[in-house]
Amino acid sequence: MRSRPKKKTNRRSTASSVQGRVSHWGKTDVGLKREVNEDFFLADANLNLYIVADGMGGHAGGDTASRMAVETIREKISQAKDSDGLFIRGAVLNESPAILKVLDEAVRTASAAIFEASQSNPELEGMGTTTTLMLTHGKRAYVAHVGDSRLYQFKNSIFSQVTEDHSLVNEQIKAGFITPEEALHSRFRNIITRSVGFESQVTADTFSFAMKSGDVFLLCSDGLNGMVSDEKMGKTLRRGKLSTVPTRLVAAANQNGGDDNITVLVIQYGKTAKKDRRNSSARAGGARRSSKKRK
């Protein structure tokens, strides 16, 4: 892992946006020990599409990979939404295999594009990115996930992780070699076993689930969950306004060391919030992260 000089600012956030029954608030921050921010996130109220990507591969590569992943996926899903018969009424209640297929194909397309770019430019060689996305359609959430960025759910006062990390330490935990507590301090905790773009082909975990009014979701890069415990994240969601959660969690990660770039995206289903006229479509990028190792 490459060490970088401390940098002070480079902090960006998006305003909240509401469309129909979904609200969101997001923030990305370079952290305290990275020179640049290689994270990139999207909150598109028109598509009801929310993505966090955490780039790897050094200064130029990590930024390029995360941005390409988000932009490629957004374009593919936008094209699919314009097609007749895909986002049908029935899919708002029951799982649509067609939508899951579109998400999988969008991630595969992004991986191929990133890999091709890395092969044609020596400065970008070896780049890749995590990608975790949630697409809401009616009362269903559709998810595609690669890497160790995370999706959490806050439901009935219970905060729980929805996605499963594609990481070496998670494999060790499942095999019984280490405990979750030991994983927090493992020297292998930054090694991921699956990423978008490191190879031309990748398989995303795709699934869907029903949402209920009041459900809250949190998408984040590991710059948050690596610095802030799940217990602390849950307590932060329980207290104060949801609109302030990203700022409060970024501050908590930096207070605990700010070792990596930090991206936090909070999504609420079923309740309305006052629309912020400054930015109704929220897309943000520019985060960067030092290169992540992989198998």
Residue 60 has pLDDT above 80, yes or no: no
Give me the pLDDT at residue 57, please: 83
Q: Between 167 and 247, name the one with better pLDDT.
A: 247
Mean pLDDT is lowest, of 86-95, 195-204, 205-214, for 86-95
Q: Is the pLDDT of residue 294 over 50?
A: no
State residue 204's pLDDT score.
97
**pLDDT for 31 beyond 60:** yes
Query: Strand, coil or helix: what is 114?
Result: helix
What is the mean predicted confidence (pLDDT) over 266-283? 55
257-269 average pLDDT score: 96
Question: Is the predicted pLDDT of residue 4 greater than 50, yes or no?
Answer: no
Residue % of the chain over a pLDDT of 90: 64
Average pLDDT of 8-23? 48
**Quick one: what percent of the chain has pLDDT higher than 70?**
74
Q: Where are the alpha helices (DSSP H) in 152-295?
A: 168-174, 180-183, 222-225, 230-238, 245-255
Q: What CATH class does 11-294 carry?
A: alpha beta
pLDDT at 185: 66
pLDDT of residue 202: 96
pLDDT tens readout for residues 87-129: 766 666 788 898 999 999 999 999 999 999 999 999 999 999 9
Q: Edge-to-edge strand order for the sheet containing 140-146? A: 205-210, 140-146, 128-137, 49-56, 39-44, 283-284
Place of tokens 């605990």: 256
167: pLDDT strictly greater than 80: no
Instruction: Tell the residue number behind the tokens 């909070």, with chain if given.
Output: 266
Give yes or no for residue 20 having a pLDDT over 60: no
